[in-house]
Structure 1
Amino acid sequence: MHLAYSNDRLSSRTTADPSAAGEPEVESSVIEWLLHDDQVMRECFIHAAEILKSVTGAAITAITLLDEEHQHYRAEVGMAMPLVTRARSLADYAVRDAELFVIEDAHDDSRFGECMLVQRHPFVRFYAAIALRAPNGEIVGALCAMDPSPGRLDAGQRGVFYHLRAMIENDLKMRTATAIDPLTQLYNRRFLLETIACRWKQAQDGDVMGSVVVDVDWFKQYNDTYGHPAGDHCLRQVASVMQAAADGECMVAGRMGGEEFGLLVLHAQSATLEATLDTLRQGVMDLAIEHRASPLGVVTVSLGASLTRITESSRSAHREGFASADRALYRSKHRGRNQVTMA
């Protein structure tokens, strides 16, 4: 397994209920973070892939991240890998087992006839991978080695997969502790603001960025009526609606503090943003969380939003965008709450 490939590395581009039966699903905020923004984990991934290549001699090693639809390569050593649908990926098989998954020759196993990397370049025959999990146990992807020739692993090489997994998951645990709000599993305030600043600087001239502030209506009264444990459960449910909206509409969601949340809308469109946010507002209302201290009888949210077209002069104006959204939120509250106001 020593074919000559280039050493290009290609960086890819995107909460389940933990009590649900079956295999945990991908935690979207963690996947979003790992795919886009975290330089520390990116370097950890590359080092792990390089170590694995040196030990196994495989032509290609990589970290793959899995969302519901796709397998994304976050670190590759050996060659730049294409985007692959999850249903036709080898990693989707690998993460079904806690142990090391090894295919010595994919041509001898009919299960892998439809896998894209077997059918197309680099025509993988040998494949070995081990699942990677977030601190809460949810699968985020796999550490893998592959080669266009059949191959085997000895006991020492197998052990390296387990050691590297432990290293990656330990680093991931430390990094998520500083990036993710433990109650809602959205970004915390600090990391949300860092991500907003980063995305704003990376935007192209002419891109439109949407800044959104969301506040749970009459939340102090909710806590006073039902108690703080119920309040925490309420915030988790509201956050799940926000994360679902973020996943579907190219948004970054985070908790600003207390009952206040923030959204950065990438490539926002003025014609549709208000409707999208109103769907989010209705989604919270549809949770039908009883709120006797609200005149509406259920938990609701108010939203304020603003749009900024990126130019050279507005490239550092993310704070002004959210200040404008916050003023729009105040108008939503002043007008009776449970509504969206555009700046």
Structure 2
Amino acid sequence: MQLAHSNDRLASRMPVDSTAGGEPEVESSVIEWLLHDDQVMRECFTHAAEILKSVTGAAITAIVLLDEEYQHYRAEVGMAMPLVTRARSLADYAVRDADLFVIEDAHNDSRFGDCMLVKRHPFVRFYAAIALRAPNGEIVGALCAMDPAPGRLDAGQRGVFYHLRAMIENDLKMRTATAIDPLTQLYNRRFLLETIARRWKEARDGDVMGSVVVDVDWFKQYNDTYGHQAGDHCLRLVASVMQAAADSEHFVVGRMGGEEFGLVVLDAQRSMLEDTLETLRQGVADLAIEHRASPLGVVTVSIGASLTCISDLSRPAHRDGFASADRALYRSKHNGRNRVTMA
């Protein structure tokens, strides 16, 4: 079955959901994970794009992922696609739709005149996409097909978009269940350690890798005083501060277990890392979570960090980086807690 090309002068699309404008951004931990090459999901994306190309006959099919600034291509079939700002992407229009989004001829719709794929190679005219959602319902990107000639979809081709979306979202649900800590929605210990090992292996000689360990001060006493339900709520609030820091600096953050968290930092610079970790420490204190069993009166964190310049000798030693950060954390605790210590 091939894409039915058309000379129709009017672009067609499904009705816009008027509530979609308030769509919350996807959790960055999921986007970060997908952007950094989870192999299982990459294979799922590739199969979906290949099937979509076979069914529609479109010149290009792909999965696109959307963060706040950019549209990132994954599993392109037909040609390698350039990085595009989200504001000038077709996918940003597509994910506002409640349903399948179709442009039969972008040249006949002034809304798309500034879109990069329309203005420049591959000079897209036909475009169809359907939004993809994380297990919590938030948008991560879209499955799309595009062509430099006008076109339309028949009912069978439209149905394939829905079936492939169901397949991708089901795989995403199963995969995130093995990667995300259910309490904090950060990476879990296993996936964080896998990510750390891979990042160190892929780093170039001369890159500086930062390893960070964060521990909630007097947390056992907090649980004993307020109960485990309050303790879980406390950990979720602390995790939200760490996720915000990770978002701003492109860290990878996860829960190591209990009240301990880990971060890995690419292209780390000592002064910037110290400033960011100090902001993180202060951010937790600013939550002003009452802690009567702490001499400080509120929940705080102690932080240890180390920097490693990647070389042939240090590349296999990602555990050494965190061992050094853990020793720095011990010094933070020994010196009064609620502080950042660099190795």
TM-score (norm 2): 0.92
Q: Please name the residue that 2:251 is paired with.
A: 251
Q: Please name the residue that 2:290 is paired with.
A: 290
Q: Please name the residue that 1:52 is paired with.
A: 52
Contact 2:62–2:75 (CA<8 Å) still a contact in 1? Answer: yes
Residue 272 of structure 1: how far off its partner (Å): 2.4
Q: Please name the residue that 1:212 is paired with.
A: 212
Q: Please name the residue that 2:83 is paired with.
A: 83
Q: Please name the residue that 2:15 is paired with.
A: none
Q: Please name the residue that 2:340 is paired with.
A: 340
Supply the distance in 2 between the matched residues of 1:182 and 1:294 (Cα, whole angstroms).
27
When residues 22 and 231 of structure 1 are mapped into structure 2, their CA distance, relative to the original with a 3 A threshold, is farther
Task: Give the counterpart letter for 1:103 in structure 2.
Answer: I
* Deviation beyond 3 Å, 4+ runs, structure 1: none
Residue 189, structure 1, aligned to residue 186, structure 2:
no
Q: Please name the residue that 2:315 is paired with.
A: 315
How many aligned residue pairs are there? Answer: 326
Q: Please name the residue that 1:239 is paired with.
A: 239
Supply the distance in 2 between the matched residues of 1:243 and 1:253 (Cα, whole angstroms).
7
Deviates most, 132-141 or 289-298: 289-298
- 1:172 counterpart SS class: helix
Q: Aligned-residue CA RMSD in angstroms?
A: 1.5
Residue 271 of structure 1: how far off its partner (Å): 2.9
Task: Give the counterpart letter for 1:51 in structure 2.
Answer: I
Contact 2:134–2:172 (CA<8 Å) still a contact in 1? Answer: yes
Task: Give the counterpart letter for 2:70 in structure 1.
Answer: H
Residue 185 of structure 1: how far off its partner (Å): 1.0
- After TM superposition, list the pairs within 5 Å mapping 1:1-343 onto structure 2: 22-343=22-343
Residue 88 of structure 1: how far off its partner (Å): 1.1
Contact 1:2–1:59 (CA<8 Å) still a contact in 2? Answer: no
1:141-198 Cα distance to aligned partner (Å, 9 max, x none): 0000011111000000000000000000011011100011111111100000000000
Task: Give the counterpart letter for 2:306 in structure 1.
Answer: S
- 1:26 counterpart SS class: coil
Residue 204 of structure 1: how far off its partner (Å): 0.8
- 2:178 counterpart SS class: helix
Q: Please name the residue that 2:6 is paired with.
A: none
1:274-314 Cα distance to aligned partner (Å, 9 max, x none): 22211111111112222222111211100001111111111
Supply the distance in 2 between the matched residues of 1:89 and 1:271 (Cα, whole angstroms).
36
Residue 2 of structure 1: how far off its partner (Å): 8.6
- 2:289 counterpart SS class: coil
Supply the distance in 2 between the matched residues of 1:2 and 1:305 (Cα, whole angstroms).
56
TM-score (norm 1): 0.92
Structure 2 stretches of 5 or more lacking a match?
Answer: 4-20
Task: Give the counterpart letter for 1:189 in structure 2.
Answer: R
Task: Give the counterpart letter for 2:260 in structure 1.
Answer: E
Supply the distance in 2 between the matched residues of 1:149 and 1:2 (Cα, whole angstroms).
13
Contact 2:2–2:56 (CA<8 Å) still a contact in 1? Answer: no
- 1:71 counterpart SS class: strand
Supply the distance in 2 between the matched residues of 1:318 and 1:61 (Cα, whole angstroms).
37
Q: Please name the residue that 2:17 is paired with.
A: none
- 2:194 counterpart SS class: helix
Supply the distance in 1 between the matched residues of 2:123 and 2:292 (Cα, whole angstroms).
62
Contact 2:2–2:55 (CA<8 Å) still a contact in 1? Answer: no
Supply the distance in 2 between the matched residues of 1:64 and 1:253 (Cα, whole angstroms).
23
Supply the distance in 2 between the matched residues of 1:166 and 1:264 (Cα, whole angstroms).
33
Supply the distance in 1 between the matched residues of 2:232 and 2:100 (Cα, whole angstroms).
38
- 2:164 counterpart SS class: helix
Task: Give the counterpart letter for 2:309 in structure 1.
Answer: R
Q: Please name the residue that 1:6 is paired with.
A: none
